[in-house]
Structure 1
Amino acid sequence: MKRAIIIGATSGIGEEVAKLLVQQGWHIGIAGRREEALKNLQATAPGQIEIQRLDVTEADAPTLLETLIRKLGGMDLFFLSSGIGSQNPDLLPEIELNTTRTNVEGFTRMVTSAFNYFKARGEGHIAVISSIAGTKGLGIAPAYSATKRFQNTYIDALAQLARMQHLNIHFTDIRPGFVATDLLKSGKFPMLMQAGQVAKSIVRALNRKKRVVVIDGRYRVLVFFWRMIPRWLWERLPIKN
């Protein structure tokens, strides 16, 4: 029996991935801040889904993760889908700090907990949703792009650490482009993808244990060219979305 924990499964990509894993026969534990949404998803497959209300920004989140793992009977895959982001060209401090609390502090809290669990267990798979926004610093969303770069680098570091310690832990860094979720509920975004289709690509990558995956092909091309833009030119580009 394959068992996965999904953090951030109350909506969007996390919810869609949860549904697909259930269809594939996984037993899953889902966590998020909205307990009612968790219960609604559990009702679709009560024999395969355990739930736990959890907020990654709170200090007790690792303890609640352990509770959910016990409910599920173990964990083979840890999938972190929780994150926030906003355009903030006015640099309102609370927006920047809230983004950091979730995408850096909360991310680190949960990923280190999963790493230590798999280290004790002897094997496992850690997957996270970061973003193509980590490729370059986006002036309209400084904290969001910076925290996504942090996530990319942190997973790189943990992958190296696992090899240094001879641990059988796999890592998947999932970097989507713009996805039609609550995260992008305001503004117009080019090449917008649907969460259901993105979730299918994610599950394929998880099954193959791919190390890094940019979703989709259009964004792979975009990221390729982004990386080639020199800093002096990037700083002069009027990126608005």
Structure 2
Amino acid sequence: MKYALVTGATSGLGKEIAKRVAESGWYVFACGRNERSLEELRKTTYVHPLCVDVTKQESIDAAFEEVSGVTDKLDAIINFSGVQQMASLVEGNIDIVSDMLEVNLMGMVRMNKTFFPLIKNANGRIINCSSECGWMTPQPFNGPYTLSKYAVEAYNDSLRRELMFVDVPVIKIQPGSFKTAMHGTTAKSFDRLSNSTTMYNDVLEKMKFMMDIELKMANDPKYLVDAVMKALQSNNPKQKYRVKNSPILGFVEIWHPEIVDTTYKKVLSSKLVGEVINKVKDKIDK
């Protein structure tokens, strides 16, 4: 039997991935902090739930001891722990940035380092979840999340070029927007940002409309789960899997940075755009 460890397994995409991997016949160590969700996962065949806080090394060490009591090898680590908040880099609490780095980046670093001996024993592989925000042009007010994912990209590529010398594949997943509970968290954080700002009220009102459209166009999680399964099962996995990335943001990516800045400023500062948005809202409300 093959063994996989999945982080972020108590909600959203991580939970769906843990279930699918187990359904394919793997023994899955499903890591997360939501105890109720862990109990639900316990009912799934081949799933071994673990209460793990990836921001605390002592919690990870305890998980390592429990996993080591079951097996001396891991065929895969799938890192899907993650948080997202919309925030201003100057008006927002600095803890938002540090918390996001702790979960999205350092949690991944800790898990991979701690469990690497078991990966090495199995000649296994490491799959890290990044984001389309990790390679696309940064958007305003998504700075904390974006910088954490840019850091994940650098970490992943550095780790891949290190572990290629011991034949351990390191693969990154770059998801676009998917229908998960994280969307609700993102929307709430945007509302907090809008209610607390003293500088960006008009800009955020326009961004809110655009963000709502983006969330409504979010994709079915099954596409992402399918991509992770390919990365997990392929004899020759790709270095990266881009899954349902935004075509609009992808188009913006080819622009010169000055053009991007000018476009954002003109669109989000334009009174005409605001009037158009209000008219569209009125029609939707009717």
**Is the CA contact (8 Å cut-off) linking 1:198 and 1:215 kept in structure 2?**
yes
Q: Distance in 1 between matches of 2:227 and 2:175?
A: 10
Alignment of 1:230-241 (within 5 A): 230-238=256-264
Aligned twin of 1:94 = 95
Query: What's the CA shift for 1:206?
Result: 2.2
CA, structure 1 residues 234+123, in 2 after alignment: closer, same or farther (shift >3 Å)?
A: same
Q: Deviations over 1:83-104 (max 9, x none)?
A: 1111113433222221122122
Say which of 67, 70, 90 aligns to 2:68: 70
Query: What's the CA shift for 1:233?
Result: 1.9
Q: Distance in 2 between matches of 1:222 and 1:72?
A: 46
Q: Distance in 2 between matches of 1:189 and 1:81?
A: 25
Does the residue aligned with 1:236 lie in a helix, a strand or coil? helix
**Does structure 1 residue 210 correspond to structure 2 residue 238?**
yes
Aligned twin of 2:146 = 145
Q: Deviations over 1:50-88 (max 9, x none)?
A: 121000111213313312422441311000110111111
**Does structure 1 residue 167 correspond to structure 2 residue 195?**
no
- For 2:48, give the aligned amino acid: E
Aligned twin of 2:197 = none
**Is the CA contact (8 Å cut-off) linking 2:84 and 2:100 kept in structure 1?**
yes
**Is the CA contact (8 Å cut-off) linking 2:163 and 2:170 kept in structure 1?**
no
Aligned twin of 1:194 = 220
Q: Distance in 1 between matches of 2:19 and 2:140?
A: 35
- For 2:251, give the aligned amino acid: F
Query: What's the CA shift for 1:224?
Result: 4.6
- Name which one, 1 or 2, has greater alpha-carbon Rg: 2
**Is the CA contact (8 Å cut-off) linking 1:88 and 1:142 kept in structure 2?**
yes
**Is the CA contact (8 Å cut-off) linking 2:77 and 2:126 kept in structure 1?**
yes
Aligned twin of 2:25 = 25
**Is the CA contact (8 Å cut-off) linking 1:29 and 1:72 kept in structure 2?**
no
Alignment of 1:171-186 (within 5 A): 171-185=170-184, 186=187
Q: Distance in 2 between matches of 1:111 and 1:117?
A: 10
Q: Which runs of 5+ in 2 are unaligned?
A: 188-210, 269-286
Query: What's the CA shift for 1:148?
Result: 0.3
Query: What's the CA shift for 1:228?
Result: 1.5
Identity of aligned residues (%): 22
Q: Deviations over 1:29-58 (max 9, x none)?
A: 11101122112112122xx11121000111
Query: What's the CA shift for 1:207?
Result: 1.6
Q: Distance in 1 between matches of 2:93 and 2:254?
A: 31
- Report the TM-score, using the length of structure 2 for normalisation: 0.75
Aligned twin of 1:126 = 126
Does the residue aligned with 2:168 lie in a helix, a strand or coil? strand
**Is the CA contact (8 Å cut-off) linking 2:64 and 2:115 kept in structure 1?**
no
Q: Distance in 2 between matches of 1:98 and 1:225?
A: 31
**Is the CA contact (8 Å cut-off) linking 1:69 and 1:75 kept in structure 2?**
no
- For 1:174, give the aligned amino acid: I
CA, structure 1 residues 34+201, in 2 after alignment: closer, same or farther (shift >3 Å)?
A: same
Q: Distance in 1 between matches of 2:155 and 2:79?
A: 14
Query: What's the CA shift for 1:232?
Result: 1.3
- Report the TM-score, using the length of structure 1 for normalisation: 0.87
Aligned length: 233
Q: CA RMSD in A?
A: 2.1
Q: Distance in 2 between matches of 1:63 and 1:226?
A: 43
